[in-house]
Amino acid sequence: MITSHPDRHAFGERLNQLVSPAQPIQTIEHLYGRAKELDLIEKALFAPGRHVFIYGDRGVGKSSLAATAAHQYQSADAGYIDVGCGPDATLPSVIANVALQALDESRVKSRKDSQKGGISWRFLSVERSTEEVSRDLHAEVSTVLDAVEVLREVAALHSEKPIVVVDEFDRIEHPETRHAFADLIKHLGDKKINIKFIFTGVASSLTDLLGAHASAIRQLATIDLPRLSWDGRWDIVLGAAGAFGVDVPRDIYVRIAAVSDGFPYYVHLITEKVLWRAWEDPQPVTTITWEHYRDGLKDAIESINAELRRPYELAVTQRSDDYEEVLWSTADGEYLQRFLYDMYASYEHIIKQCEGREKLPFDRYRARIRALKETRNGAILVNDPSKAGLYRYRETMLRGYVRMQAEATGIELVGNKDPTVGRHQVHVPTNARRGYRGPQVPRGVKFTPKS
């Protein structure tokens, strides 16, 4: 029991103010390890006509960074506008969503009619119903310039410093629609419209999202968001535990930082589950134990969505039962791109920990690696185009899930080790084997195979 919060409801509410695996973080005090990126965004938004595009791997915290930055920029007279994208999103549908939120904000804030003086309204007014606006805008916003004029009116209605977050821009399937947004950004600057945009999207470069649309590049400050730094990872753990007066030993918070693979989602999720285990402990808890960590890690794995679980299950559920160790070996180390011989070295380290398991010869291991590129085996790996012989994960976030599975099964990856951890290995019985561009390792944390 965490004695500072003996009531379950109060503990749950407080915990979910501190860690947020399911929703974007929106306050700067809970956004760890992103001070540099927040500073770059703030400086970019000071510039007239400048907008922001945050891109990177899924799960690195793009939405949280965008939400926090928007919350910091948006004037106090309204909340920032937040729009999500889907495969069928179009320029009119997104602009209609922005306008509807602006009108709702105007009604809630009881904007004065005098604000409308001198403006010839074409698209919006606070008296119009949401049904009217939605229907009309879908029909009337037929060009990029129409969208610009809608946003001019949104800026006048909404607030002193309006900002819009367009989340998951990568989900828009049609290149023509993406190009239309690039044109929109250019025209907003040319027309001096008082509204800012922050876009987020899964990509390795801005070209992946907008194509070679150079006319919009000068209006966009681009943030290529990497995986979370080591100190950012364990600050999440220590910040949440510290709020309850609970200590986390160094070897445990370093382990959480390593297993998470730099994805804030995993750090938040594991921390949440570990603290729940501590709260449910019948004894008073002042220090997180390895039992809390082990059980919390399993809880985290069980709660991860099927989109990540399914490829793993396809990969390890084969006629041959040796795929799981091979899969674990692909997720070892800090580098996201790895050569075959490096992965095989990780595999040899893993097999030494698997009692009664025989090591695959290199040729058979190589065949397993090639099989992991096939759809029927989860399509987990792809050849990295940067250099012949390099492999990487098709979905980088899946790498963290694989590391969590290895950890919960009692396998210590080379890239998960710290010299202070040796006496406290997470142990899972052998009959439980079936599955439960990166930051630099910080000074003082050394990963070496156990002799």
What range does the domain containing 217 cover? Answer: 34-225
pLDDT, position 447 = 45
Q: What is the mean pLDDT of residues 386-400?
A: 91
Report residue 14's pLDDT band, with 50, 70 and 90 as the boundaries: very high
Is residue 296 a part of any domain in this protein?
no
Q: What is the mean pLDDT of the chain?
A: 84
pLDDT value at 337 more than 50: yes
189 with 62, same domain?
Answer: yes
pLDDT recorded at residue 84: 93
Mean pLDDT, range 324-343, rounded to an integer: 93
Same domain, 427 and 322: yes
Query: What pLDDT does 179 receive?
Result: 86
For residue 23, CA distances in Å to 64, 84, 269, 410 come to 8, 13, 11, 30
Number of domain units in the chain = 2
pLDDT-derived band at 110 (thresholds 50, 70, 90) equals very low
Q: Which residues contact 265 (CB under 8 A, 6 or more apart)?
A: 21, 59, 61, 397
- What gap in Å lies between CA 187 and CA 145, rounded to an integer? 8
Average pLDDT (58-66) is 92
3-state class of 98 per DSSP?
Answer: helix
| Token pair belonging to 156 | 């006048």
For residue 403, being part of any structural domain is answered with yes
Contacts of 211 (CB under 8 A, 6+ apart): 175, 178, 179, 182
Residues 339, 442: one domain?
Answer: yes
Given a cut of 90, whether residue 139 has pLDDT beyond it is no
What distance separates the 2 farthest-apart alpha carbons in the chain? 82
Tell whether 189 and 49 lie within a shared domain: yes
In a domain, 84, yes or no: yes
> Within this chain, do residues 187 and 316 fall inside the same structural domain, yes or no?
no
Q: What's the pLDDT tens digit per position in 67-109?
A: 999 999 999 999 999 999 999 999 999 998 998 888 776 544 4
Note whether 421 and 320 are same-domain residues.
Answer: yes
The size of the chain, in residues, is: 451
The reply to whether 311 and 221 lie within a common domain is: no
Sort strands 51-56 and 196-202 into parallel, antiparallel or unpaired: parallel
pLDDT band at residue 437, thresholds of 50, 70 and 90?
very low
Bridge partners of residue 188, in order along the sequence? none
Is a pLDDT exceeding 90 seen at residue 348?
A: yes
Of the pLDDT bands very low, low, confident and very high (cuts 50, 70, 90), residue 445 is low
**H helices, E strands: number in the chain:** 18, 8
What is the rounded distance in angstroms from the CA atom of residue 351 to the CA atom of residue 86? 43
pLDDT: is 258 or 129 the higher one? 258
Of all residues in the chain, the percent with pLDDT exceeding 90 is 61
Which of 28-32, 320-324, 418-422, 437-441 comes out lowest in average pLDDT? 418-422
Q: What is the pLDDT of residue 439?
A: 52
Q: Is residue 252 part of a domain?
A: no
Average pLDDT of the segment spanning 5-18: 93
CA distance 187 to 27: 31
Q: pLDDT digit string (tens) for 182-200?
A: 889 989 988 999 999 999 9
Residue 222, classed as helix, strand or coil, is strand
Residue 53 has pLDDT above 50, yes or no: yes
Same domain, 219 and 361: no
* Res 438: pLDDT: 45
Residue at 320 is within a domain:
yes
Is residue 29 in a domain?
A: no
- Residues 216, 313, single domain; the answer is no
- The answer as to whether 446 is a domain residue is yes
Domain presence at residue 297: no
Looking at the structure, do residues 210 and 335 belong to the same domain, yes or no? Answer: no
- CATH number where 105 lies: 3.40.50.300
| Same domain? 42 vs 157 | yes
Last residue of a domain, one of 174, 196, 225: 225
Q: Single out the residue in 196, 225, 254 at which a domain terminates.
A: 225
**pLDDT top residue among 448 and 350:** 350
Last residue of a domain, one of 206, 225, 244: 225
Q: Is it the case that residue 131 has pLDDT exceeding 90?
A: no
Question: According to the model, what pLDDT value does residue 294 have?
Answer: 95
